């Protein structure tokens, strides 16, 4: 069973501490939302847990091994990472962009093996991009490109999927579809970690919520609460509904 554990992580940049003594243990089958205000350290935490940033102190363990002991190829074969604010300069097709997610499994030379066509097709379908398959990725809208990058992240069906603000720029329908997709990956045994800003979606889909404020974990809960929202963002929020119908409404000072 996959276990990814950040142990007493501290990251500093100059005189600023980005993360301070952060410990998070994540297991296969979990969908963990990481929430917090801008500049809280969410993206840094995801990069550290993805093995892309070395902490100043502490370590990240993958099962029984330090993440730092794995080669780039070994890590890429198990973990997919989707950063925020992605860019693409090459006018490659959407299909070829998605196929880049298979790079750790592809032969060193030659074209794309036909055996991978079905998984590419499935990823395109899951991200509602079937009709964009042959379109240059540089001509996609912002939301379409975000979905194409998500398709690239999931195409290899990684054991660990770490995504930084994957629904930014998506319309409501595709945001909900993407959250459902991430939820399904976790239910099928993958470990999914995603930073989110949408409180309602963070309340509905993940199985666990980690709240980061000023570089420290201030909450690690099964379900997001009004109290944690206030502690994280300094706003008053009202939670309504149950299960998949939960929703947060932010209250103005006159409504408190």
Residue 219, number of CB atoms within 10 A of its CB: 18
pLDDT in tens, the chain (256 residues): 789 999 999 999 999 999 999 999 999 999 999 999 999 999 999 999 999 999 999 999 999 899 999 998 889 889 999 998 888 888 999 999 999 999 877 765 566 778 889 999 999 999 999 999 999 999 999 999 999 999 999 999 999 999 999 999 999 999 999 999 999 999 999 999 999 999 999 999 999 999 999 999 999 999 999 999 999 999 999 999 988 899 999 987 655 5
The model's pTM: 0.94
| Cα 35 from chain centroid (whole Å) | 11
**What is the Cα–Cα distance from 80 to 191, expressed in whole angstroms?**
11
Own/partner pairs, 218-221, CB within 8 angstroms, 24+ separation: 220/24
Q: What whole-number distance in Å separates Cα of residue 134 and Cα of residue 117?
A: 13
Q: Which of helix, strand or coil describes residue 20?
A: strand
Segments in 26-141 forming alpha helices (H): 42-49, 72-76, 94-99, 117-126
């Amino acid at each position: 069973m996959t276990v990814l554990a950040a142990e007493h992580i501290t990251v500093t940049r100059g005189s600023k501490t980005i993360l301070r003594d952060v410990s998070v243990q994540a297991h296969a089958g979990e969908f963990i939302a990481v929430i917090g205000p801008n500049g809280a350290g969410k993206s840094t935490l995801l990069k550290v847990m993805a093995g892309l940033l070395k902490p100043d102190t502490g370590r990240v363990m993958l099962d029984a091994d330090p993440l730092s002991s794995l080669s780039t190829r070994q890590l890429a074969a198990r973990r997919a990472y989707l950063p925020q604010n992605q860019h693409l300069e090459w006018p490659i097709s959407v299909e070829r962009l998605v196929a880049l997610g298979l790079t750790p499994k592809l032969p060193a030379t030659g074209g794309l093996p036909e055996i991978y066509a079905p998984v590419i097709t499935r990823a395109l379908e899951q991200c509602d991009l079937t009709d964009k398959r042959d379109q240059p990725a540089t001509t996609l809208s912002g939301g379409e490109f975000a979905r194409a990058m998500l398709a690239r992240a999931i195409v290899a069906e990684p054991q660990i999927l770490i995504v930084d603000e994957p629904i930014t720029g998506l319309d409501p329908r595709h945001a909900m579809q993407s959250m459902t997709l991430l939820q399904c990956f976790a239910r099928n045994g993958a470990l999914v970690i995603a930073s989110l800003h949408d409180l309602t979606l963070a309340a509905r889909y993940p199985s666990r919520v980690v709240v980061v404020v000023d570089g420290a974990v201030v909450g690690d809960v099964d379900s997001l609460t009004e109290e944690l929202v206030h502690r994280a963002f300094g706003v008053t929020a009202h939670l309504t509904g149950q299960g998949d119908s939960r929703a947060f409404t932010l209250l103005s000072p006159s409504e408190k």
